[in-house]
Amino acid sequence: MKAYHGRILRIDLTSGKSSVRTIDERYVRKYLGGQGFAVELVYHGMPEGADALAPENVLAMAGGLFAGFPVPTGGKTAFAAKSPLTGTLVESIMGGVIGAELRHAGYDALEITGRAESPSYIFIDDDSAEIEDASSLWGKSTREVPELLKKDLGWDVKIACIGVAGEKLVRFACIDCEERQAGRGGLGAVMASKNLKAIAIRGTKDLEPADPKKLLELALRYQDIMENAPSFKEDTVYGTGEFLGWINKEKGVFPTRNWQSGVFDSREKIDPYYWAPKYVSKNKACFACTKPCGKLFEIDSGKFAGVAIDGLEYETLYSLGSACGNASIESAARGNEICDVFGMDTISAGVAIGFAMELVQRGILTEEEAGMRLTFDNAEDAVPQMLELIGKREGLGDILADGVKRAAERIGKGAERYAMHTKGMEPPAYDVRGMKGHGLAYMTSTRGACHLRAGFYAPELVGKFWRWEGIDRQSPEGKGAMVAVMENFMCVYDSVGLCKFSRGFFLIDKLSEVIEAITGLSFTEDELLEIGERIHNMKGHFNHREGVTRNDWLLPPRVLEDPIPDGPSEGSLITSEQMNKMLDDYMAARKWSADGEPSPDKLKELDLT
């Protein structure tokens, strides 16, 4: 078996000891890499019932199977742990180089347990792994930490770190590596709970593929396919927000003002067709991506002069834009920068602010309690101000830093009615009232409302994908089985470490050839999808074990009761009956109980008992 080292590095921060666990071909055939490895480590490693912020939580990291090899868009790294936001197993995938660097240091995955006595960082320098003092780094931003550490350790060292939001245990704090984030579910707070400020890695070992010539040939083939696809120009000029106008105007499912509308009337001002020519000075890419959707966005004059970010992504155009009624792209960009520097998820942070704005609108919160004029029409100023308060956990920011579910419980007075989440996770930028299957996917996603665990927005908005044609986005029929198999598909993607924007180029059957050129191991399409199913079942089983029940899965009241009031999807909602039918279909397709517990037969079939 080529490409793997057969070694997982385990570091216990409580005892300060590290050890190496060996893995063999059987392990690889079972879990593949990336998300598969990271989820396995948390699933089997964390004692039942541990709090997400307790030393017993396991923080795992692994580069995908392709990470470190030249496969176009295939450089992703997976992090996983129990989430302090949702109480579920959360995995978050980033385009940073840290997972590939770990492989160059000679490890297939990293497992971190325990809690250091004082602020620390881990320095993995090939075979040496040391826990070092980080007291001088505590309080520093995600941009300062790498700079300070590289000065000490060398420019070639790669750094993943947390910012102040992590230190303050903001429940949606993220982990940053070179302006790329493992954004969702509060993995940054898990790191901070372990007194771990950063992970620094220098790897100088070779990665040897089974068939170098074949791998180069495949890389060139897929590179050419991607470069010649129509989406290449759109992605490289306008980034992921390219289809914002289409989602908003043609489909009417662009959630606005905390989901009070599906159409943002000031769409033009946050649309990349407006801002890219004005503010983008160059393209930025994830590690190993030859199809860059990242943008260097710089503002050199006006109220927000000095902003320089790698963004804004489609999701952030919603969360810091339409969700807060914010028509100022400059303000959203500044907000994006605050989130990056403090180290927090732009989606959860923005949705939390939009939620608070609606509470002010309805008189549930006063402006006094908010500490500012927290209204949709004052979003330009309020969004960046409130983001700083969340990052520092000051004032109302301290309440919003726990996510909308906990914030609503704390505020009371019926605030729950306006809290948008499933399993405690704030939803991304697709109004699922007009996309039934994607609504199901928000519920079934093991980390709470997510557009990427099944990626079901694409089949429903386009009407076809992979095995399906003629998909009706307004129909709940057949969506249970489709979402289940798409989740398995995406688990494979996150395990090989491919970008999901490549899923139209590399369907699962295309992956086998690349995997074989790298590892020498052959997998059929069905074998790969079974690995995906195994990974998803581990997450589902973990969640059920940790007390997540059907009630936590359900869609928020607004999706079930308030139809989209205007635009192309006017009148759309998901009825309670449709919701439960889709859930039942899904559970049946998975062979899970109504509460989401995998059946013993299913676990046995997947060799998980």
Smallest distance, Å, CB 80 to another protein? 25
Smaller CB separation from another protein, 236 or 319:
236
94: phi then psi, degrees, rounded to nearest 5 = -125, 160
Smaller CB separation from another protein, 5 or 284:
284
Which residues, including other chains, have CB under 8 Å from residue 155's CB and lie 6 or more apart? none
Strands 180-182 and 175-177: antiparallel
CA distance 206 to 360: 57
Smaller CB separation from another protein, 111 or 235:
235
CA distance 248 to 363: 29
Cα–Cα–Cα angle for 97, 100, 102, nearest 5°? 110
Tokens of 83: 């989430």
Smaller CB separation from another protein, 178 or 460:
178
Distances (CA, A) of 100 to 24, 204, 514, 515: 19, 11, 17, 16
3-state secondary structure of 393: coil
What residue ranges bind another protein (CB under 8 A)? Answer: 68-70, 72, 75, 97, 104, 143, 178-179, 204-209, 212, 215-216, 219-220, 223, 226-227, 232, 236, 281-292, 294, 296, 298, 308-310
297: phi then psi, degrees, rounded to nearest 5 = -110, 115
**Which element (helix H / strand E) includes 35?**
helix 34-45
- Going along 143-195, which residue ranges are E strands? 158-161, 175-177, 180-182
Alpha helices in 497-562 (DSSP H): 508-519, 525-545, 550-553, 557-561
Smallest distance, Å, CB 495 to another protein? 19
**180: nearest Cα among 309, 286, 75:** 286
Smaller CB separation from another protein, 127 or 250:
127
CA distance 550 to 599: 15
**190: nearest Cα among 376, 59, 299, 30:** 59
- Number of neighbours of residue 153 by Cβ within 10 angstroms: 18
| Residue linked to tokens 């792994």 | 129
Tokens of 542: 């973990």
- CA-based torsion, 203, 163, 324, 269: positive or negative: negative
Smallest distance, Å, CB 247 to another protein? 25
Amino acid at 589: A
- Number of neighbours of residue 317 by Cβ within 10 angstroms: 31
- Please check whether residue 359 is in contact with residue 329, taking contact to mean a CB–CB distance below 8 angstroms: no
CA distance 228 to 231: 8
Smaller CB separation from another protein, 251 or 284:
284
Which residues, including other chains, have CB under 8 Å from residue 244's CB and lie 6 or more apart? 254, 267, 270, 271, 272, 314, 317
Smallest distance, Å, CB 481 to another protein? 37
- Please check whether residue 389 is in contact with residue 396, taking contact to mean a CB–CB distance below 8 angstroms: yes
Smallest distance, Å, CB 215 to another protein? 7
Smaller CB separation from another protein, 240 or 378:
240
Q: What residues does 309 pair with on adjacent strands?
A: 297
Smallest distance, Å, CB 67 to another protein? 10
Smaller CB separation from another protein, 178 or 530:
178
CA distance 517 to 291: 22
Rg (alpha carbons) of the chain, rounded to whole number: 22
Smallest distance, Å, CB 290 to another protein? 5
Smaller CB separation from another protein, 395 or 520:
520
Smallest distance, Å, CB 206 to another protein? 4
Smaller CB separation from another protein, 288 or 353:
288
Smaller CB separation from another protein, 288 or 374:
288
3-state secondary structure of 9: strand
How far is Cα of residue 460 from the mean position of the Cα atoms in its chain? 21
Smallest distance, Å, CB 391 to another protein? 19
Smaller CB separation from another protein, 340 or 380:
340
Smaller CB separation from another protein, 139 or 212:
212
Tokens of 252: 């009417």
338: phi then psi, degrees, rounded to nearest 5 = -60, -45
Smallest distance, Å, CB 167 to another protein? 22
Smallest distance, Å, CB 204 to another protein? 6
Smallest distance, Å, CB 236 to another protein? 7
- Please check whether residue 101 is in contact with residue 158, taking contact to mean a CB–CB distance below 8 angstroms: yes
Smallest distance, Å, CB 471 to another protein? 32
CA distance 24 to 47: 24
Strands 109-113 and 128-133: unpaired
Smallest distance, Å, CB 285 to another protein? 4
Smaller CB separation from another protein, 84 or 311:
311
Smaller CB separation from another protein, 2 or 7:
2
Smallest distance, Å, CB 224 to another protein? 9
